[in-house]
Amino acid sequence: MSQPKRGNAVPCYHCGEPSDPPVMAEGRTFCCNGCRLVFGILNENGLCSYYRLSDTPGTRQDDTPTNDRFAFLDKPAIAERLVAFRNGNQIHVTFPVPSIHCSSCIYLLENLHRIENGVQSARVDFLRKEVRIVFDKSMTTLRQVCERMASVGYEPAIHLDAMDRKAAKRPDRGRIRRIGVAGFCLGNIMLLSFPEYFSATITSEPKLVPFFRILLLSLALPVFFYSASEFFLNAWKGLRQKTVLIDLPISIGIIAMFLRSAWEVTSGTGPGYFDSMAGLVFFMLVGRKFQDFTFDSLSFDRDYKSYFPIGVTVSGRDGERVVSAYDLAVNDVVLVRNKEIIPADGILDGGSASIDYSFVTGESRPVAVAAGETVYAGGRQLGSAVKVRVTRRVTQSHITRLWSQGEYRKQPSRYQHLAHTISRWFVGATLAIATSAAVYWYVADPSRSLHAFTSVLVIACACALALSPTFTYGQMLRLLGRRKIFFRNNEALERLADVDTVVFDKTGTLTSCESLEVSSETGLNKEERMMVASLARNSTHPLSLQLAGSLGDNGNWMEVRDFREQAGQGVSGIVAGRYVKIGSGRFAGTPEKRLSDTGTYVNIGGKTKGVFHAGHAFRPGLESLAARLRGMGYRLSVITGDHERDRDRLAKIFGPQTDLRFNQSPQEKLDYVKSLQAKGHRVLMVGDGLNDAGALMQSEVGISVSDKVNNFTPAADGILDAGRLDRLAAVLRYSHSAIGLIRTGFLLSLAYNVVGLSFAVQGTLSPVVAAILMPVSTVSLVLFAVAASWIRGKQLVGT
């Protein structure tokens, strides 16, 4: 038996994986035939710049894709849904390609036309991992394009969500345009206002004054009618739903400024407040843009549809046909090939399957399923193709039912209520002050009455009110994002400050899928442990390697003779003259009554010596995280689909008051969150996997933990890189401190408003005062919000 060599193998020229055994071609070393084939295609087509742009840019080609993997694309009903745009024979499509990761990927995909005739252009959007392809349908087909991409290692990920994708989502170009127009007008208005404020000469030239003012008015028109339109629309929408949004006081201010200024200009009584108005609109738009910061490479909206196959192969009496997953009926027999996802719950129809449910449960070890047993939607078959008889339709399956329970609506947080209350209060107070000023002056000096009324509306600027949350949260989203803690939007952060209960999932969230740890219930002595390690070392099975790693501490390996490996069962061999078997209970000859569900049994010389449990290792820093959360007054729960084996350890980590629940189905997790909410708690759910999806959606804030942030994550308000789980307490504290920062911002803006209003009610507000006060208050507030939230973030969350 030769020892497997690891670490010193030559890296594959294509993908950089160790090539063991190496496959040689053209003087280069490859790890497998798949990689060699890709190299062959690229070499033939003169695309070897691929290998020059970055080192070993490829991804390992484990298996050549089966021929009919993309057969569903020949079905017009499916193909039609994928096409974004068509122009005669020209077809435009956009595919997500998850394997895009370096500049070579961009190079290769954008040169797709050189390996596939008929492709006219391909443009990669690197951050979104998408490629837009234009091809001529008279020369190639959608299916051929996809197969070609798959053949060079860039398989487009076409999932069920492509079927009901509405219009391709475009980023908001409108807002950038409105900011551009407002900025252009603001700059020119400020410039053209200078002579009015500071020049004595202008007043001696009677014809110049109206000329300047008319220029100001015409520059203000696009700001008022185009750039500011979104505030008016939002305010109107709010009013129709009988709520006062922050847009309403802003709109009142803008309209008052515009009408007053337009009247001043047309009646020749003054220059108006166009500069203040344009400034207000510009800064408010910039603030919203700053807040609507998005992470291009992440998606917060994924559900099972982003992941389930779009077309499935149904085998019937008349051979195989491809249908859309939605059209699957009960009792259809679906063919599930290697690495394909099971689209619906069903019963394994003959053969045996090995199913990886990691997307569902977070547990990455495959589960063996025998014929006649149930398989659940969302599992991925590993190994040869199997047939599954569907027992429930796609939308009715164990997992997918979570989504068919109607809309999940997040309740607005207390702080959103606060913002609404302040807006309402602000509108009321402004109108009251304006009216009383008008009434006062109507009695004292009727000519100044209207002037005082409009002055109050002009200067009582809601912008500070709106700007401090937008800039504070915008800055927080960025700062956290740079630390691999991603939140969907400002509302998620707002709700986070409101949470009083934290619910954790276990597998994949508190434990890591990547590192296993071995716990033993064995009475092995030192020599016996070494025997087991030496035997295990000969196998490449992950469990064996783990066992060898944890037992064989000093590397004094013993010689193994007669090594045998029985796939899926265990390994056996003669070590130091004794026959050693490691494997499943049945394989190791353990008496039935001692068998538990999992575990690796050891048999030395015909006697069962004990059992090893390979469990997922808990992530580091959990004790201190739990202690900090408890110290901050949070109620903690752990809810898992797993059995109770880890109860003691969890109780030790989380403390005795923590509610620990085991053997919970996805539905029970969702109901648990609901029951907490019914008791008046506000819940932060921390989970991963599709089985937490319901609870993540139902909770006030759902955070999904991911080992690889760009990989699959279920719909959530936040995505947390698994390495940052220990920062959760700091993030919660940060969300609290944001509320304080925003309140400080409100106070500052209140102070500015008092100064401005004192001029306004006296009827002495001049455009110069407004022109100075407006930018000073805005800029100082923005600086305060950005700087303060940055400093607090640095202090709390660290680097």
Partner 1 sequence: MSAIYVLLIVSLLVAAGFLVAFLWSVNTGQYEDDYTPSVRILFDDPADDSTSGTEPSETASPPNDSNPHH
**Which DSSP state fits 98?**
T
Q: Considering only residues 57, 309, 474, 666, which one is a binding residue for partner 1 as defined by CB under 8 A?
A: 57
CB of 165 to partner 1, least distance (A): 18
Do 503 and 699 meet the contact criterion of CB atoms below 8 Å apart?
yes
φ/ψ of 333, rounded to 5, equals: -105, 120
Nearest approach, Cβ of 219 to partner 1 (angstroms)? 8
Which residue is listed with tokens 């609901």? 674
Q: How far is the CB of 213 from partner 1 (least distance, A)?
A: 13
- Burial class of 109 by CB neighbour count within 10 A (0 to 12, 13 to 18, 19+): buried
Task: Pick out residues in 569-588 that bind partner 1 (CB under 8 A).
Answer: none
Stretch that binds partner 1, among 52-60, 157-165, 621-629, 751-759 (CB under 8 A): 52-60
- The yes or no reply on residue 428 touching partner 1 (CB under 8 A) is no
Strands (E), 108-173: 119-125, 130-136
Is residue 5 at the binding interface for partner 1, with CB under 8 A as the rule? no
Among 24, 77, 83, 127, binds partner 1 (CB under 8 A): 127
In the complex, minimum distance from the CB of residue 128 to partner 1, in angstroms, rounded to a whole number: 8
Query: Which residue among 110, 491, 565, 668 contacts partner 1 (CB under 8 A)?
Result: 110
Rounded Cα gap, residues 612 and 604, in angstroms:
14
H helices, E strands: number in the chain: 24, 28
Amino acid at 444: A
Element (H, E) at 559: none
Determine, following the binding rule CB under 8 A, whether residue 62 of this chain makes contact with partner 1: no
Distance between CA atoms of residues 73 and 79, nearest Å? 5
Q: List C-alpha distances in Å: 600 to 152, 521, 527, 570, 597.
A: 40, 10, 19, 9, 10
The reply to whether 54 sits near partner 1 by the rule CB under 8 A is: yes
Asked if 210 interacts with partner 1 (CB under 8 A), we say: no
293 scored as a contact of partner 1 (CB under 8 A): no
Q: Is 111 in the site for partner 1 (CB under 8 A)?
A: yes
Question: Distances in Å between the alpha carbon of 781 and those of 457, 466, 743, 778?
Answer: 20, 10, 12, 5
* Pick 28 or 609: Cβ nearer partner 1: 28
Contacts of 73 (CB under 8 A, 6+ apart): 79, 82, 141, 142, 143, 146, 158, 311
Q: Tell me the window of 47-55, 81-89, 427-435, 638-646 that interacts with partner 1 (CB under 8 A).
A: 47-55
Near partner 1 in 339-398, by CB under 8 A: none
Comparing CB distances to partner 1, the nearer of 127 and 747 is 127
**Structure tokens that stand for 400 in this block:** 């997918």
Q: Is 211 in the site for partner 1 (CB under 8 A)?
A: yes
Choice between 173 and 526, CB closer to partner 1: 173
Does 708 sit near partner 1 (CB under 8 A)?
Answer: no
**Segment interacting with partner 1, rule: CB under 8 A, options 169-177, 275-283, 343-351, 690-698:** 169-177
d(CA 728, CA 332): 46
CA distance linking residue 711 with residue 708, whole number of Å: 5
**172-191 mask for partner 1 (x: CB under 8 A)?**
-x--xx--xx--x--xx---
By rule CB under 8 A, what count of residues binds partner 1? Answer: 48
Q: Which stretch binds partner 1 (CB under 8 A): 123-131, 274-282, 446-454, 639-647?
A: 123-131
Q: Smallest distance from the beta carbon of 173 to partner 1, in angstroms?
A: 5
* Count of other CB atoms within 10 angstroms of residue 327: 13
Which residues contact partner 1 (rule: CB under 8 A)?
26, 43, 46-49, 51-57, 101-103, 106-107, 110-111, 114, 123-128, 170-171, 173, 176-177, 180-181, 184, 187-188, 192, 205, 208, 211, 215, 295-298, 482, 710
